[in-house]
Amino acid sequence: MDAEKGLSRITVVTSGTPMIIEQIKAQLDRLVPVHTISDLTVEGPSVERELALVKVRGTGNKRVEALRIADIFRARAIDSTNESFVFEISGSTRKLDAFIALMMPLGLVEVSRTGVVAIARGAKGI
């Protein structure tokens, strides 16, 4: 959010042919009150990240293995009980997908993901 201008940012991640992307951008531009549409894939370097909360149930060796994998992926245990953990992990979509895949056989219970957020690199703002 840009408090000075009273604006909020919404990130839309999509795929398609260049013509489809242009159609999506044109439709978004017709929404009120859209002020600016930025296509970060063509405007230069940008930074993308995603956040996930991952709940894993497990005891004994599975619990130890979940903690070991979380450490490798730099996930933080933000909640812990005798039978479960909730891990917080951020990074690329591929990183989150890999972490979740490794947690499945260890007792994956639930996943909550933000979706991708992105911002252009450099000093210029929206």
Residue among 6, 20, 98 nearest 52 (CA): 98
Domains contained in the chain, number: 1
| Residue 110 parent element (H or E) | strand 108-113
Classify residue 104: in a domain, yes or no. Answer: yes
pLDDT in tens, 13-46: 788 898 998 898 888 888 767 777 778 878 889 8
Q: Is residue 31 part of a domain?
A: no
Calpha distance 8→1 (Å, rounded): 4
Type of residue found at 77: A
Residue 60 lies in a domain: yes
Q: Is residue 30 part of a domain?
A: no
In a domain, 68, yes or no: yes
CATH code: domain of residue 67: 3.30.70.1150
| Cα distances (Å, whole numbers) of residue 92 to 7, 26, 67 | 26, 28, 20
**Which residue range(s) make up the domain with 90?**
46-117
- Residue in 4, 3, 41 with CA at minimum distance from that of residue 22: 41
- 20 falls within a domain: no
Q: What is the per-residue pLDDT across 59-118, written as a single tens digit (0 to 9) for each?
A: 999 999 999 999 999 999 999 999 999 999 999 999 999 999 999 999 999 999 998 888
55: three-class secondary structure by DSSP:
strand
CA dist list (Å): 17 to 42, 79, 108, 115: 13, 42, 36, 21
Note if the pTM is more than 0.75.
no
